[in-house]
Amino acid sequence: MPEKVWVKVCPVIDLPNGKAINILVNGQRFVVARCDDQAYMVQGYCTHMLYPLKDAKVEGCIITCPLHGSKFDLRDGSVQNWPMPMLEDIKQKKMLRTFETQVKDGIMYVAWVADDPSKVRIRF
Ligand code: FES
């Protein structure tokens, strides 16, 4: 039966300041980034036109897509800026997918649902 497990990602200090980096969890692509003393993981592609968010600029907790400048809050995935005017209900649909994370003793962990926790593979 699948259950939620906390998977160790890396020491937060290893995450670069000011940009997101790629991470693969069981072969699926996401990005992780630091914000204040926390670290967050979101989907690896922008919801505008699916441009990769690898190396995207991060200021505070805001990640900016390198292609057209959409901005999202890493903490909840909310859209902070979009390349064109958009209706509020569309804004909800364009949020980034976020994942539950925590930092404990300087190490970043992500919550993952797995049948067998020992088979969750993290790669950068
Ligand atoms: S693809 Fe990201 S803003 Fe357009």
Rounded to the nearest whole angstrom, what is the distance from the C-alpha of residue 49 to the centroid of ligand 1?
A: 5
Burial class (CB in 10 A: 0-12, 13-18, 19+), 99: middle
Give the per-residue pLDDT at 77. Answer: 98
Bridge-partner residues for 62, per DSSP?
Answer: 59, 73
Rounded to the nearest whole angstrom, what is the distance from the C-alpha of residue 48 to the centroid of ligand 1?
A: 5
Dist CA 46 CA 118 (whole Å): 30
The 8 Å CB, 24+ separation contacts for 118-124 are 119/26, 120/5, 120/7, 120/25, 120/26, 121/24, 121/25, 121/26, 121/27, 122/7, 122/8, 122/9, 122/10, 122/23, 122/24, 122/25, 123/23, 123/24, 124/10, 124/21, 124/22, 124/23, 124/24
Rounded to the nearest whole angstrom, what is the distance from the C-alpha of residue 41 to the centroid of ligand 1?
A: 18
- For the chain of 124 residues, list the mean pLDDT of each consecutive stretch of 10: 92 96 96 94 98 98 98 98 91 96 97 90 94
Give the per-residue pLDDT at 1. Answer: 83
Give the per-residue pLDDT at 2. Answer: 87
The domains of the chain, with CATH numbers, are: 3-115 (2.102.10.10)
Of 101, 103, 100, which is closest to residue 13 (Cα–Cα)? 103
Give the per-residue pLDDT at 13. Answer: 95
Give the per-residue pLDDT at 118. Answer: 86
Closest residue (by CA) to atom 1 of ligand 1? 49
